[in-house]
Structure 1
Amino acid sequence: MVANRARLDKTRCLLSVGVGILGAQSLAFRNVDSAAFDNFSNLTARGLDSIAQVGPVGSIVLALGIGLLFYKLYPEFKKAGMRNRLTASIVAFVLALSVVIPRLVKKTITPFNTYPDYLGGVPRWHEAIFWLVVFVQLLSVGSLLAVGFCWLIHKTVGLSGLTSLDVKDAIAPPGHTTIWEKGARLFDGTPGHLALATAVTVLCWVPMLIINGPANLGFDTMVQLIQVRTGHVWDPMMMVELPGYAGQDHHPFVDTYLYGLFDELGVRLGHEILGFCILVVLQSIATAFALVVSFVWLRKRTNLPDSCTCVCWCLAAFLPAFPMYMSAIVKDSTWISIFLLWMVAFFETLYRCNNNQPVGWKLVTGLVVLGVLSGLTKKTGIYVTTLSLCLLLIVLRKQIISLLVSTLIPAALVMGLVPMAVLPALDIAPGGPQEALSVPIQQLSKVTTLHKDELSQSDRETINKVVDTDRAASHWRDSSADYAKHYGYKINSSSKDRKQFIKTWIRLFFRYPKDYIAAVPYLVDSFVFGNTYYFSGPVRCGWWEAGGFKLLKGYPDCKPSYTQEKIGIPLTDALNKIPPFSFLGSEALYTLWLPVIALGLTVANKRYRDLLYLIPSIATWGTLLLLAAHGPRYSLCFLFIFALTIAIPFIKGDNHVPHHVSG
């Protein structure tokens, strides 16, 4: 028995050493560009250079750290049953792909050599060495993640299975109040504590708001302000004038009026930037309040210990990514507080349905109001909220009247009343239908260029009724669909033409799947490690063609402010290089890792009904896969709903019973 145990320990140690070395090399090899795969000698030389960038001490520490983690976590993988091993392996494979995929996607951008960025180049698909490195990366990273996930299942199964037992009673002696309990009292839901927690959060954000200040106005916001300030209505997507209109709804008109209001406020106060500073403060307060509300829900409706609630608050208060986006005047930053509150209402609705509790008119009213505001401040918001509630209604078939009202009224108002009555009454031009066709235009433009002679005459005619393929091809870029859409889309195409275009797009996918995927490589950017939510930019930028020079005259175009230049931009660069900030700010951590881990833990504990909490996240994934371009701000909601995502496997409920980790 002793000899067998010794052999097992020896094997475990050797396996840990191997995984540690391979894991460290795999992470370092992410920075080797595709030219390294010309021959084995070149791969070795460049691979050693890449590892050397970490430094001799850093590479040893990295390997030892990975090996030690594997050594500590492996026993839980060994004890887990086959079902949980399979779940862990699937989750690990998906997460490992997010590390490896950047090597598999063609990148022509300027290379970087620091985490989380990666070098570009053309993948060497035909090289056996290339696939060997990919396999080693998947094997080493995936192995570590698999054993880690089994350990996580073991640690969470007790908490997720509790029903009536208060978690803090299980971790603290009677009569003893921990520091976590004292901190978590701010999240008991009382008005005074709500206000205090919100105020403290905003105060923690103030330094970053000042550094990234006085404000940041991007291209989209400048177009909206130009409409209000100058009356110059210009379609930035089609690059055409829109005479006779008071505005355009390409960017939500509610945001346009809101930004125009604060612009006017600043002018009346003596300097228009003051109005935007006030707006930055107000949207920071609103978003901080929404985050605190999500932490209140976390404490009341889950079995997570108070320490977890406090850690989540600390992350939101001190991770620079949160206040960095609050300093931006853009629809995503304005919208996020509304959507986060809607998410809390959605979670509460599902919680009550799962536990046979009435939804109540107050909650329904909240869903309706927040759904309408979400759709009016960001157009994809109404699709996510409507689809999520609709699927909830279909699956649960409970609280039918409440869910119908919550689903139909916002959709009818935002998608029906606004375009048919409100926009004409305000002389606002509707947004063009080409936005929804961005990805099909990008893909069919590419297919037409590559396979023009193979397409039938009817297919070419159908495509050319919607897209000028020759013009689109001359401006086509794989980094964004905006170019093909800007220059190729035909404004005079009819709805019938567009319907036929979509049918052709669906049909040709089965003939040219490889070309379809190759045409939109940017769509994977939200789900792989590369971009972060750390953000700093100029006070104003762009759209001189539309009269942008008339706004914020005291600030040069596309130039940072003093604090942005001296602190904000260098800080952003540093955060991208320094662990753990580089990992904690990564887009893929929030868009992919947290939802997939939550899904895996929920499945491992056989809490299948709780998978419904992931519906809004999955719906948002769908919107990301239909966008014309990639930008971290498009997935910003994943960052701010992080606590709700973490909470899914630990939600209380009478229908949950504990399960053994063996599966």
Structure 2
Amino acid sequence: IVLALLLLACFVVKHWSCKIATIVLGSVPYLVVGIIVPTFILPALHIDPGESNEILAVPMQQVANVVHDHKDDLSAAEIDKIQQTYHMDIDQLQGAYCWYKADPIKGQELSSKDVHALITTWMKQLVKHPGDMIAGWGGLSVAWFSFNVASGEERDLSMMLPINNSKHHYQNIEQYIPWTDNTKAGNAIGRFYADTLSATPIFNIIWQKAFWATILPCAIMFLILRSKKNKLNLLMLNLPMFITMLVLFAGPISTHTEATRYVLPMLYIIPLFLSLTLKHLSLKNPKSSLRTRVLR
């Protein structure tokens, strides 16, 4: 929201009063989420802030991929710095690495010193092993742009999967209210999804994460670029969707059930932006039509 409104103020809005109003409006989400909540609300509720390593999942995964593939090419100083950053032995890091999820290698809190060491290591390895760095990122994002993603022991990593039971919970936390993990309704939903929705040819493409993450947004981008008029306005109109798509590729995972929640915003907003874009393209003279409606 913030980025979309800032770009709107810079490239579309012309009057200074409207520019200022747009920037002020865009600052509201940041003030709430970035300042008010962590400064006042979380301490009042005795909630600890999130771990700093979550935003660094992708570079951590990329460096871990280099360690996995080229451990013997690393110098003693590089190995020592990597071990201090990841808080684990180099052999443990090499064994813990998993190409499609960053959780096994990012479970530690990073200090400012660790973050600086990670950044310098990442820059060096990007120069030395660019292919492995791209592959490290690609493994995390593969389900956003590819069908039939699977690992050796798991399948359907590219599908959107509903959680139909309560088995996924935090370990070592006492449950004050017990509940049944499996229910008849939950099992029925799971079977209906597996046997019908995701098994019907052609129709099952709707349940692919890539369909919402890249195929539909790229189709909308194609419609905009082939249009002879108002490309900038259409691009600005669809900015929230395109920015949301880019955010997916900066995340720590695109596979497994939990990745479904990351792509859900695209399911909510794409129908809106697709219909607005098609409506805009169907108008012979969008500006004059808009002016006529305003006068009426």
Q: TM-score, normalising length from structure 2?
A: 0.78
**Deviation for aligned residue 1:650:** 2.9
Measure, in 1, the Cα distance between the counterparts of 2:6 and 2:123. Answer: 25
Task: Give the Cα–Cα distance (whole angstroms) in 1 for the partners of residues 248 and 80 of structure 2.
Answer: 30
Aligned mates of 1:536, 1:450 — CA distance in 2: 34
Contact map agreement 2:4 2:239 (CA 8 A) in 1: yes
1:523 is the counterpart of 2:145: no
Q: Distance in 2 between matches of 1:478 and 1:515?
A: 11
Query: Equivalents in 2 of 1:543, 1:590: separation in Å?
Result: 29
- Tell me the residue number matched to 1:584: 206
1:91-490 alignment, distance < 5 Å: 385-398=1-14, 399-456=18-75, 459-469=78-88, 470=90, 471-486=92-107, 489=108
8 Å Cα contact 2:93/2:105 also seen in 1 = yes
Match of 2:126 among 485, 502, 509: 509
1:543 aligns with 2:170: yes
Q: CA deviation at 1:504?
A: 3.0
Matching residue's letter, 1:506: M
TM-superposition CA deviations, 1:436-493 (whole Å, max 9, x none): 111111121221343344345554444333213523323221121001112xx3x3x4
Deviation string, structure 1 residues 315-367 (Cα, Å, up to 9, x no partner): xxxxxxxxxxxxxxxxxxxxxxxxxxxxxxxxxxxxxxxxxxxxxxxxxxxxx
Matched AA of 1:636: L
Alpha-carbon distance between aligned partners in 2 of 1:593 and 1:391, rounded to the nearest angstrom:
24
Name the Cα RMSD after superposition: 2.6
Would the alpha carbon gap of residues 570 and 419 (structure 1) be closer, same or farther in structure 2, given more than 3 Å must change? same
CA gap of 1:579–1:410, structure 2 versus 1, over 3 A, is same
Show the counterpart of 1:35.
none
Counterpart of 1:627 (choices 237, 243, 251) is 251
Alpha-carbon offset, residue 655 of structure 1: 6.7
Q: Check 1:619–1:504 CA distance in 2 against 1; reply closer, same or farther (3 A cut).
A: farther
Change (3 A) 1:421 1:400: same
Change (3 A) 1:596 1:444: same
Counterpart contact for 1:473–1:484, Cα < 8 Å: no
CA offsets 1:119-165 (integer angstroms, 9 cap, x no match): xxxxxxxxxxxxxxxxxxxxxxxxxxxxxxxxxxxxxxxxxxxxxxx
Number of the residue aligned with 1:201: none
Q: Structure 2: how far apart are the matches of 1:462 and 1:618?
A: 37
Distance 1:407 1:507, change over 3 A: farther
Match of residue 650 from structure 1: 279
Counterpart residue identity of residue 555, structure 1: T
Q: Supply the distance in 1 between the matched residues of 2:224 and 2:288 (Cα, whole angstroms).
A: 14
* Distance verdict in 2 for CA 1:562–1:415, change over 3 Å: same
- Aligned counterparts, 1:539-618, within 5 A: 539-548=166-175, 550-551=176-177, 553-556=178-181, 559=182, 561-565=183-187, 567-573=188-194, 574-606=196-228, 607-609=230-232, 610-618=234-242
Tell me how far apart the structure 2 counterparts of residues 455 and 505 of structure 1 sit (CA, whole Å): 13
Letter in structure 2 aligned against 1:623: V
TM-score for both structures, normalised by structure 1: 0.37
For 1:536 and 1:581, how far apart are their aligned partners in 2?
21
Q: Quickly say closer, same or farther: Cα 1:655–1:392, change in 2 above 3 A.
A: farther
Q: Secondary structure at the match of 1:510?
A: helix
Q: 1:532·1:585 contact (CA, 8 Å) conserved in 2?
A: yes
- AA in 2 matched with 1:479: Y
Taking the aligned partners of 1:539 and 1:461, their CA distance within structure 2 comes to 41
Conservation of the 8 A alpha-carbon contact between 1:480 and 1:628:
yes
Distance 1:534 1:481 in 2: 20
Q: Secondary structure at the match of 1:545?
A: coil
**Cα pair distance change 1:423/1:448, threshold 3 Å:** same
Cα deviations across residues 33-60 of structure 1 (Å, max 9, x unaligned)?
xxxxxxxxxxxxxxxxxxxxxxxxxxxx
Identity fraction in percent = 25
Q: Distance in 1 between matches of 2:231 and 2:238?
A: 11
